[in-house]
Structure formats: C-alpha cells, structure tokens
C-alpha cells in the first residue's frame, strides 16, 4: 500500500516531467536541415549523372546505327563504279564535300542501269544527300546522263553528319590551309610503293593522297583517282550529346581496281585496271 509521502513524491515527479518542454536548440535544427539538404543534393547529382550517362550511351548506339547505314550505302555504290577496264569513276566536280561518280550494277541492263551520282554534304545542316542521274543514251561504257535528278530533291542518306575535326592541307597554290576533315579524300597510284625507310609519314603501299583546298575540285586530276576515303562522324537525331561524346566515327576506303598493282616495280596502273 502506497503511503501519502510516496504518492506525493510520484505526483511531484510527474509534474516536473510534464513541465519539461526542452527540445532541439536552434543551432541543432539548422545543422540537421543543412545536413538533409547536402544529402539530398548529392542524391540528385548522382541521379543526374546516371541519367546523362544513360542518354549519352543511347545516343552513341543510335549514332552507330545511323552512321553504319550511311557508310554502307556509299561504299556499296562506289564498289560498282568500275564499269570497264581503264574507266574513270570519279568526275571532275568532286571536292572535299561533294562526290561525283558513275556506276552500274549490270552491264547487260545498260544503259538504263548506269547512273551518275552526286553525294553532297551540307556542313550547316549535317545532311548527306544522294542525287542520282539516270543514263538516257550512249553505248557502254560511254553513256549520256539526264540533267534532272530522280527524285529531284535527292535521297537523304544521312543526317547529323559531321567532320572528324580539322586537318592541314596544301592547296593547288602550295599554301597550307586548315580545313574540316574532308568527308571525301582522294588518292592516286604513286610512281613507286611507299617505304617507311625513306618516308616515315607514308606507310608501305601504292597510293598517295590528292590534297584539295576547301574550295577546290579535282578538275583534271579526276582520271587519276584510284581510291576514295570516306570519313564521317555521325550523331544521334536529338543532337544533345554531339559535343560530349555521343557520336560515332566511321572511315572506309574504296579502291577502284580489278587487281592490286605490283608494289615491287614501278607502278604504271591507273584506276579500274
């Protein structure tokens, strides 16, 4: 049985507990809020980085798919450019950004199967367009071609196509010029095969570059062209990560030859030999 003294003691202690309203101080509250903000900001930063990495990876995948399709289209057309022995596939108006060439997929179906192509790269829009001009007369392999492309607006074979940086070239006047890396670069057969012993910048091979300035065309050099190197940098259609690694680079060289020239002797071969 509780005595009166014990009851009064317990009531007094309960009263003190009830009157005790102490909690966190203002400084403790501010520290807790600041800590929460820092943790939340860190979590959002991690989430943002993860989202950007995922989006960039998706852009690389899309750029690879689009770039591969574009490159395959051009290479397949160029591989059908040797219509006959000593034929000249590449035409005079070709430049670093425009490729003029002629091809055919079947000698028996000519002249209707012979086509003159103009593949044009628009640096401002990144569009790569193929204009095809069907043959309308002549005899194999000297055909005449329509002056109107079919379709007239051409066929877009690539979008978000960029140059792979810049390079330094010497134009026809012998002056050095820094230009965007050419989408189309042209090569001819050298007189002799390259040798690393006497030219450290030229690998062993039979081709030597034909350098063009930014505003130059092949002109009279066109009949010498024995190979074309295509270099493109493809981006995704959204274009969000073009400057942040969300691109894919492609390079492919097509040589116009029925057989490789012998590099052990003086090279006398030309294109389509």
From first to last of its 273 residues, what are the pLDDT tens digits of the chain? 556 665 667 666 666 655 555 666 778 778 888 888 888 888 877 777 776 777 788 888 888 899 999 999 999 999 988 877 778 899 999 999 999 999 887 655 555 578 899 999 999 999 999 999 988 887 777 788 888 998 999 999 999 999 998 888 887 777 888 889 999 999 998 877 655 444 445 445 678 889 898 889 999 999 999 999 999 999 888 877 777 778 899 999 999 888 777 766 677 777 888
Closest CA to 213 of 269, 252, 171: 171
* 61/48 Cα distance (integer angstroms): 20
- The C-alpha angle 58, 60, 64, rounded to 5 degrees, equals 120
* 52/64 Cα distance (integer angstroms): 18
228 vs 5, 7, 76, 85, CA distance in Å? 109, 105, 13, 18
Stated pTM of the model: 0.77
* 101/75 Cα distance (integer angstroms): 12
* Per-residue burial over 66-101, b = 16 or more CB atoms within 10 Å of its CB, e = otherwise: bbeebbebbeebbebbbbeeebbbbbeebbbbbbbb
Q: Which pLDDT value is given to residue 197?
A: 46
* 50/47 Cα distance (integer angstroms): 5
């Amino acid at each position: 049985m509780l005595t009166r003294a014990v009851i009064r003691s317990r009531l007094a202690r309960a009263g003190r507990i009830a009157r005790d309203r102490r909690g966190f101080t203002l400084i403790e509250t501010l520290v807790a809020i600041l800590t929460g903000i820092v943790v939340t900001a860190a979590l959002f930063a991690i989430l943002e980085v993860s989202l950007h990495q995922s989006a960039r990876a998706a852009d690389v995948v899309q750029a690879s798919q689009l770039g591969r399709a574009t490159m395959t289209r051009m290479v397949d057309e160029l591989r059908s450019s040797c219509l006959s022995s000593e034929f000249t596939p590449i035409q005079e108006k070709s430049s670093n950004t425009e490729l003029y060439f002629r091809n055919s997929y079947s000698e028996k179906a000519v002249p209707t199967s012979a086509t003159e192509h103009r593949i044009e790269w628009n640096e401002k829009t990144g569009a790569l367009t193929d204009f095809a001009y069907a043959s309308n007369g002549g005899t194999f392999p000297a055909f005449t071609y329509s002056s109107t492309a079919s379709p007239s607006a051409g066929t877009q074979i690539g979008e978000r196509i960029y140059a792979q940086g810049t390079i330094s070239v010497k134009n026809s006047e012998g002056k050095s010029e820094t230009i965007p890396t050419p989408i189309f670069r042209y090569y001819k057969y050298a007189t002799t095969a390259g040798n690393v012993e006497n030219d450290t910048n030229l690998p062993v091979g039979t081709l030597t570059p034909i350098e063009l300035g930014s505003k130059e065309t092949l002109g009279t050099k066109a009949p010498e062209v024995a190979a074309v190197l295509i270099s493109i940098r493809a981006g995704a259609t959204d274009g969000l990560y073009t400057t942040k690694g969300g691109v894919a680079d492609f390079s492919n060289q097509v040589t116009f030859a029925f057989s490789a020239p012998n590099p052990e002797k003086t090279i006398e071969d030309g294109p389509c030999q």
